[in-house]
């Protein structure tokens, strides 16, 4: 091989310098150029479609959201004017998210800590990991069905409405318990990743000053991993407020809160209700109420909540780059 090849005498267009030839796609084979063009096209299409969805929801939301919708109860009605607002679904979303997180967050945190900091015996850790992964991949509708099964048991009758000894099995308690299952994998994964991203010398330093392992976890590791923990929690909330199947089946999907019993707060929680997702579901043309304007308004509120959560996750994740 000669180091410097003599220029081919009969090459009609003098080939441009090699580097720029490789960087500009003009000299590539047509299949390669097609591939690149396709990548650009799909990337931009993806952007455009997402922007389209968000903008469309924004426009429809701004058209149909009225302040009074937030403070009126839903009502049975045939026209958009009669059917009231979405006060109950909005509160329902908040209640369900709070209750489900009250179950899922401590559980997820403990499992994440155990997996990352203890994890013995190792077969148990492996089983736990794959179980959590399986939970993440299971359809939420299966959880909902299981929920109807366990909350109809007589022993759990105090958590829902009872009628002549028949346990109804649909309540905020039932829905929240099952919703916590779909938030759990996200929390566990994030807590674990956050803890594992902390270098080992941090732990060793803490042990060296005489802290026990659990004290290290509580005082050193968890504060350091707080951004991941927060990210996991917020992703979990996002999943919970976006879920529909569990709410439709386990919350009874009555638009208004229907209380069970006389105790004020407990009665509501034992009773049935709805969330924004089931409100949208019922108000879509395929649903029972079919009032698309209401559906758009509620969908807009729901989407704004999800976007806000997303934004918060971004901020939390940006703060979490400490150890990398």
Partner 1 sequence: MALSRPHRASRGLLPDQRAELMLGALVCAVLLFVLLLVVFVFKEAWPSFSHNGLGWFGPGGNPDQQVQEIYTSANLLREPVYTFHAWPIIWGTLLTTLGAVTLSFVSALFVSVFVVEFAPEAIKRILEPVVRLLASVPSVIFGLLGVLILVPFIGQHVITDGNRRSVAYIVSLSGYSLLAGILILSLMIAPLMIAVFSDGLRAVPRGWLEGSLGLGINRWRTFWKIGVRTARPALVAGTVLATARALGETVMLAMVTGGVSFAPNPADGLIFFVEPTRPLAATILQTAEELTSEPMRHTIFAMAAVLLFSAAMLSLAGWAAKQPMKRYGVRA
Contacts to partner 1 from residues 283-322, by CB under 8 A: 284-286, 292, 295-296, 299, 302-303, 306-307, 309-310, 313-314
In whole angstroms, how close is the CB of 257 to partner 1 at the nearest point? Answer: 20
In terms of CB distance, is 38 or 158 closer to partner 1? 38
Q: Is 3 helix (H, G, I), strand (E, B) or coil?
A: coil
In eight-state DSSP terms, residue 224 is H
Q: Is 47 within 8 Å of 41 (Cβ atoms)?
A: no
Size of the site for partner 1 (CB under 8 A): 97
CA distance 154 to 87: 32
Site string for partner 1, 18-37 (x = CB under 8 A): x---xx-x-xxx--xx-xx-
> According to CB under 8 A, which one of 200, 262, 265, 324 is a site residue for partner 1?
200
In terms of CB distance, is 3 or 263 closer to partner 1? 3
Q: Is 79 within 8 Å of 159 (Cβ atoms)?
A: no
> According to CB under 8 A, which one of 91, 94, 135, 266 is a site residue for partner 1?
135
In terms of CB distance, is 243 or 259 closer to partner 1? 243
In whole angstroms, how close is the CB of 265 to partner 1 at the nearest point? Answer: 27
Tell me: does residue 323 bind partner 1 (CB under 8 A).
no
> According to CB under 8 A, which one of 66, 71, 78, 130 is a site residue for partner 1?
130
> According to CB under 8 A, which one of 15, 16, 20, 39 is a site residue for partner 1?
39
Phi, psi of 8 (to 5 degrees): -65, 130
CA distance 73 to 71: 7
In terms of CB distance, is 99 or 113 closer to partner 1? 113
- Of 44-63, which residues contact partner 1 (CB under 8 A)? 44-47, 49-51, 53-54, 56-57
Q: Is 194 within 8 Å of 320 (Cβ atoms)?
A: yes
Nearest to 94 by CA among 292, 289, 302: 302
Tell me: does residue 42 bind partner 1 (CB under 8 A).
yes
Nearest to 298 by CA among 56, 60, 52, 53: 60
- Of 77-116, which residues contact partner 1 (CB under 8 A)? 107, 110-111, 113-116
In eight-state DSSP terms, residue 163 is E
Tell me: does residue 238 bind partner 1 (CB under 8 A).
yes
Q: Is 158 helix (H, G, I), strand (E, B) or coil?
A: helix
Cα-based distances in Å from 59 to 50, 52, 63, 207: 14, 10, 6, 56
Q: Is 295 within 8 Å of 80 (Cβ atoms)?
A: no
In terms of CB distance, is 210 or 264 closer to partner 1? 210
């Amino acid at each position: 091989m000669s180091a410097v090849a003599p220029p081919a005498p009969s090459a009609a267009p003098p080939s441009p310098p090699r580097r720029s030839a490789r960087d500009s796609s003009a000299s590539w084979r047509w299949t390669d150029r097609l591939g690149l063009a396709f990548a650009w096209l799909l990337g931009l299409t993806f952007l455009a479609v997402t922007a389209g969805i968000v903008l469309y929801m924004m426009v429809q939301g701004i058209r149909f959201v009225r302040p009074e919708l937030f403070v009126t109860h839903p009502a049975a009605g045939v026209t958009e004017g009669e059917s009231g607002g979405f006060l109950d679904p909005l509160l329902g979303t908040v209640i369900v998210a709070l209750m489900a997180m009250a179950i899922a967050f401590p559980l997820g945190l403990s499992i994440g800590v155990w997996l990352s900091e203890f994890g013995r015996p190792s077969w148990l850790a492996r089983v736990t990991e794959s179980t959590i992964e399986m939970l993440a991949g299971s359809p939420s509708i299966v959880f909902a069905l299981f929920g109807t099964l366990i909350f109809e048991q007589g022993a759990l009758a105090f958590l829902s409405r009872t009628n002549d000894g028949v346990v109804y099995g649909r309540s905020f308690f039932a829905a929240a318990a099952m919703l916590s299952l779909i938030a759990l994998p996200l929390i566990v994964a994030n807590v674990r990743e956050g803890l594992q991203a902390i270098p080992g010398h941090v732990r060793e330093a803490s042990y060296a000053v005489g802290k026990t392992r659990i004290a290290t976890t509580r005082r050193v590791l968890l504060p350091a991993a707080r951004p991941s923990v927060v990210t996991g929690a917020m992703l979990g909330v996002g999943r919970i407020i976006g879920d529909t199947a569990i709410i439709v089946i386990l919350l009874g999907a009555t638009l208004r809160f229907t209380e069970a019993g006389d105790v004020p707060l407990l009665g509501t929680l034992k009773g049935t209700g709805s969330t924004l997702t089931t409100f949208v579901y019922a108000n879509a043309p395929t649903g029972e109420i079919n009032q698309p304007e209401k559906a758009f308004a509620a969908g807009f509120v729901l989407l704004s909540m999800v976007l806000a959560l997303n934004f918060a996750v971004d901020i939390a994740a940006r703060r979490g780059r400490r150890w990398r």
